[in-house]
Structure 1
Amino acid sequence: MIPILFEDGEALVIDKPAGLPIERPRAGGPALEDHLSDLRLGFRRDPVPVHRLDTDTSGCLLLARNPKALVRFSRAFEERLVEKRYLGILGGTIETQAGTIELALSKISSAEKGWRMIPARKGKAAVTHWRTLAVAGGLTLIEFRPETGRTHQIRVHAAFGLGVPLLGDPVYGQKGSAPRTMLHAAGLSVPRDGKPPVAAHAPMAQDFAALGFADPLESDG
């Protein structure tokens, strides 16, 4: 069973495992939809993912439990009202400690490399706030707080904005430097009119700890 981080009548937040795609791959294989009936938890409908996480990315994924909630939560994402917090491990070190990356992004495609996102002046605006949390073994643990939600935003902003890609990123970094792209959706907060926000924290993934990093929330506590 996938761990549940938050549950009420409108929403579930699950701790999505790394390696589990949200949509079934063309080649087949496991996907999140295999687990949706188990996540009904007594409701008649399967819950529906409100947003997307890359297959490699672990952590907080919001699911809506009814169509009205799906519309409201989707609007909150579109209007940039959702607070998102990610942890990422860079495959190296950087000199600065914190900042904001503003690099517009555009999608390109080629027969040799497939599709990818690149910084482009005429692309869609993308803004990510970041700060260094720890350094261990020549690697850097970064907290990312994206304002926008562009495809591959944090991955591209790490590679081109910070100059050091995420460890294990096969597209923007060095393939095989880690078993997966080291990105974890650690926190999510979605405001709701007249109700407390949907808020959840996903404990740091075990493969992050294996590289010598402690969960910053546990360290603060």
Structure 2
Amino acid sequence: MNALSDADPIYNPPQNPYLSLLHRDAHLLVFNKPSGLLSVPGRHPALSDSLLTRVQKEYPEALIVHRLDKDTSGVVVMSLNRRGHALVAAQFEGRTTRKSYVAEVWGRVEQAEGVVNLPLAIDPDNKPRHRVDTDHGKPAQTRWQVMGYGEKRTRLRLYPLTGRTHQLRVHMKALGHVILGDAFYADGDALLAANRLLLHAEELSFRHPDGSDVTFTAPTPF
């Protein structure tokens, strides 16, 4: 989901490259969305520029299948017809797609791998932020693996088993290791350690409308 509030006066999406097309066929378009660009336009006119808006200038029939937060980069799939949209969207809704993200988090994660299983809900006092809510939250699970270490940071591969808003960002905070550059959930040195949110949707696998199994990859830019 888009992380930007319609009331947010600061929105300066990247223009170069304007669009980064990874794949095109009769049913689907796959793009590498940059950090800082909304997946779909907001209600306020200042938020009209988005990945979908740009794509529909060239492909008016394009329909978005899923979204990434404004500050998250990576693979986004759109459909070129209703049948393709229904078949792929059903896989997202049924949680049969396979997603892999790369993140840089603050501090050293000592355990090699693990699972965060904590329910999430909107934070009513700090919208659009979300929080762990064991009383009213929706179930959310994230599997993670350590990829390597840097100075005061750990590189993780994240596998969201559910698709809640801000799931990876809130789960990493709950793990005690916020994602670097996260303007919503990090502060101090962790916020200043990067000039963007270091979260990237690197790989996405699902069943193509033609019946084949496909995987699309966008190289991690950090």
Q: TM class, shorter-chain normalised?
A: 0.7 to 0.9
Q: Confirm whether residue 149 of structure 1 aligns to residue 163 of structure 2.
A: yes
Q: What is the RMSD of the two structures over their aligned residues, measured on CA atoms?
A: 1.7
> What stretches of structure 1 move > 4 A for 4+ residues in a row?
none
Measure how far apart 1:165 and its partner are. Answer: 0.4
Q: Confirm whether residue 79 of structure 1 aligns to residue 94 of structure 2.
A: yes
- Structure-1 separation of matches of 2:128 and 2:220: 30
User: What is aligned with 1:214?
Assistant: none
Whether the 8 Å contact between 2:88 and 2:209 is mirrored in structure 1 is no
Q: Confirm whether residue 124 of structure 1 aligns to residue 138 of structure 2.
A: yes
User: What is aligned with 1:28?
Assistant: 46
Number of equivalences: 199
What one-letter code is carried by the residue in structure 2 that aligns with 1:93?
A: R
Measure how far apart 1:195 and its partner are. Answer: 2.0
1:139-178 paired onto structure 2 within 5 Å = 139-160=153-174, 162-174=175-187, 175-178=191-194
Q: Secondary structure at the match of 2:216?
A: strand
User: What is aligned with 2:34?
Assistant: 17
- Structure-2 separation of matches of 1:75 and 1:133: 31
- Deviations, residues 6-50 of structure 1 (Å, cap 9, x unaligned): 22211111001111111224261432233113542xxxx431211
Q: Secondary structure at the match of 1:72?
A: helix
Please list every run of 5 or more consecutive structure 1 residues that lacks an aligned counterpart in the other structure: 209-221
What one-letter code is carried by the residue in structure 1 that aligns with 2:160?
A: P
Kindly tell me: are residues 100 and 179 of structure 1, through their superposed partners in 2, closer, same or farther at Cα, counting changes over 3 Å? same
- Structure-2 separation of matches of 1:172 and 1:84: 22
- Structure-1 separation of matches of 2:53 and 2:122: 30
What one-letter code is carried by the residue in structure 1 that aligns with 2:120?
A: L
1:129-140 paired onto structure 2 within 5 Å = 129-140=143-154
- Structure-2 separation of matches of 1:165 and 1:69: 36
- Structure-2 separation of matches of 1:202 and 1:194: 22
Q: Secondary structure at the match of 1:18?
A: coil
- Structure-2 separation of matches of 1:194 and 1:81: 16
User: What is aligned with 2:108?
Assistant: 93
User: What is aligned with 2:203?
Assistant: 187
User: What is aligned with 1:6?
Assistant: 23
Kindly tell me: are residues 167 and 65 of structure 1, through their superposed partners in 2, closer, same or farther at Cα, counting changes over 3 Å? same
Whether the 8 Å contact between 1:48 and 1:63 is mirrored in structure 2 is yes
Please list every run of 5 or more consecutive structure 2 residues that lacks an aligned counterpart in the other structure: 1-17
What one-letter code is carried by the residue in structure 1 that aligns with 2:110?
A: E
- Structure-2 separation of matches of 1:24 and 1:192: 26
The TM-score, its normalising length taken from structure 2, stands at 0.83
- Structure-1 separation of matches of 2:138 and 2:93: 14
Identity %: 32
Q: Secondary structure at the match of 1:36?
A: helix
- Structure-2 separation of matches of 1:106 and 1:87: 23
Q: Secondary structure at the match of 1:87?
A: strand
- Greater Cα offset, 194-203 or 83-92: 194-203
User: What is aligned with 1:215?
Assistant: none
